[in-house]
Amino acid sequence: MRKFKINRNSEIEPSEEQLKRYKDFATVSHGYKKLTKRPKKPLYRDPKLFLILFLLGLIAFLVFLENEEEATTNETQVEESYE
């Protein structure tokens, strides 16, 4: 939020010296590169992402185990019925 106040003494204009001092394209170039460059760390090295990946893997493994168990039970039942 801002409020206005009257300046009765001087003009609000930057001096030539100020314009020269702050004109620096290297900072812009550096800022742009920082904004657009890819993260250095691989995604799996990020602790949060690692946890998510680990949980997804765990769920997939449990689903696989569950399916295996079901298949084994079905096979046993079929064998028993033949006997």
Partner 1 sequence: MIKKRKLNQFTEAQLIETAKQSEKAFGELYRRNFDKVFRFAFKRLGGNDALASDITQQTFIKAFAAIGKYEDKGYAFSTWLIRIAQNEINQFFRKNNKIYTVEVEEKHVMNFMDFMEIDERENQDKQEKLIQILNNLKQEYLDLIELRFFQQKSFREIAAIYAISEANAKMRLYRIIEKIKKEVY
Q: Does 77 bind partner 1 (CB under 8 A)?
A: no
Q: Does 39 bind partner 1 (CB under 8 A)?
A: no
Q: Which stretch binds partner 1 (CB under 8 A): 8-16, 38-46, 54-62, 71-79?
A: 8-16
- Site of tokens 């033949």: 82
Give every CB contact of residue 43 below 8 A, 6+ residues apart in sequence. Answer: 49
Give every CB contact of residue 50 below 8 A, 6+ residues apart in sequence. Answer: 44
Chain residues that interact with partner 1, rule: CB under 8 A: 1-8, 11-14, 18-19, 22-25, 27-29, 31-32, 35-36
